[in-house]
Amino acid sequence: MAYELKAGRPVLTQRIPCWPYADPKGRHTVSYDEYVKTGGYAGLRKALSMKPDAVTDEVKKSVLRGRGGAGFPCGLKWTFLPKLTVDAAGQEADPGVRYLAVNADESEPGTFKDRLLMDFDPHLLLEGIAICCYACRIRTAYIFIRGEYHHQAHVLENALKEAYAQGIFGAKGLLNGSSTGRGGTFAVDCYVHRGAGAYICGEETGLLEALEGKRGWPRIKPPFPAIKGLFGKPTIINNVETLAHLPSIVEHGGEWFTKQGVASTFPGGMASYGTKLMGVSGHVNRPGCYECDLGIPLRTLVEDLCGGMRNGKKFKGAIAGGVSMGVLGPDQFDAELDFDIGRKYNVLGLGTACPTVFDEDTDMVAVARNIARFFKHESCGQCTPCREGSGWLYQLLSRIEDGHARTKDLDLALEIATSMGSMPGTTICGLADGNNWAVRTIMNKYREEFEARVKPTFVPVRMTVGAGAKG
């Protein structure tokens, strides 16, 4: 039986032809006119008829979790902004300067979901930005896009020109100065800011440093961005895909959103509601970006949507959500792709939910070495355990791959990996955690491959018999 979305039709990709609903050959960049004709900006129009807090409540009701990797509830994050006082007449105090920073960096290897939205339906992102800005009383938004996304940056710039020409953004106010539920109009300006191609700028505070024109070094928290973020002002940071969900949530309601995806399978856990873009790469017959309900088993994604394993080979493993999340082993093909995946299958988390699939011929030692090389190159160097540890990990794994290592080097690599990262409390950001989870999960789940590449370590043992025995 073919896989079907619980919504009955695509939500994020309704204007982007994707398998199995439409042939991707029909893709094109959706213009403002086409976007409006197909229901675009209806969510923004409805949002402006509501009070800002009511929009936030609807997003909280949907339990929309961040699609950038961490999975933090979007509406809850918005409530961390400083509260505004209300006078006797019901008028809010001036919120002052606040910012929205849109994370369009998408530098996690194997991840290309946000690129799909920016390539072909940029106004969906712009509408989500406008809704977020209104709900959070933010007048300035920056789209921080990775340096390598040259084409996508041009597409967004052109879409922004259309949006300004049509009065979506600008000094006149959202939607050509439409009156709002908070009273009067609300004006928002939006800009595209191009990064320089550093992986670390995908970390929220590293992104803020880069936006300010500084080196992309993560900041120590607290203070958190919602209190002191960009240029020292309260700042909300949301991912492209997260914001792209807002128009449909506002238009159809938070309860509609909760009918998609899955509830949590852990006591006290948080649900994984909604659809998710999953970019599948690796050894499958039909790699690409698919919109699925959260909770879809990896096997269903590969066999029903991607046409199965390439050349009929067996499944060996998969990096389920970007290399920093770690690997699913050969016995975890039926893993459910939801936000509980970390606790169920011993990985760091769902991450970007863009699986890289490996077949039976994959050299997992080489995979681990290549991942370690990447993190060594991308470490910002601010924290000693990450700067030095990532280099040592790469050297050890290169030695293991070349067959020059000994058994003790396996233990040493795992020891280094386990002692670096923000979770052991030795680094400012989570880059080292991504490094160590990737290496640890691969070494632990494919231990026999590593042991086959190393020489046994010989430790001489000397024994003495009696007090006068000589060694």
Query: For 388-423, b where at least 16 C-beta lie within 10 A, e where not — what string?
Result: ebbbbbbebbebbbeeebeeebbeebbebbeebbbe
| pLDDT tens by residue, 337-367 | 999 999 999 999 999 999 999 999 999 999 9
Percentage of the residues of the chain whose pLDDT score is greater than 70: 97
Strands 235-239 and 272-273: unpaired
pLDDT class for 318, splitting at 50, 70, 90? very high
pLDDT at residue 465 in the model: 60
pLDDT at residue 89 in the model: 76
Asked if 310 contacts 359 with a C-beta cutoff of 8 angstroms, the reply is: yes
Asked if 260 contacts 275 with a C-beta cutoff of 8 angstroms, the reply is: yes
Instruction: Please tell me the pTM assigned to this model.
Output: 0.94
pLDDT class for 183, splitting at 50, 70, 90? confident
Helices 150-165 and 113-120, packing angle to 10 deg? 40
Asked if 326 contacts 347 with a C-beta cutoff of 8 angstroms, the reply is: yes
Tokens representing residue 432 in the block? 């080292």
The mean per-residue pLDDT over the stretch 181-186 comes to 92
Percentage of the residues of the chain whose pLDDT score is greater than 90: 89
| pLDDT tens by residue, 93-117 | 899 999 999 999 999 999 999 999 9
pLDDT class for 471, splitting at 50, 70, 90? very low
pLDDT at residue 2 in the model: 78
pLDDT at residue 467 in the model: 52
| pLDDT tens by residue, 58-89 | 999 999 999 998 899 999 999 999 999 888 77
Checking if the pLDDT of 466 tops 80, the result is: no
Which residue stretches of 191-338 are H helix? 204-211, 240-252, 254-257, 298-300
| pLDDT tens by residue, 194-217 | 999 899 999 999 999 999 999 999
pLDDT class for 461, splitting at 50, 70, 90? low
The mean per-residue pLDDT over the stretch 309-319 comes to 97
- C-alpha 135/C-alpha 138 separation (Å) is 8
- C-alpha 389/C-alpha 434 separation (Å) is 12
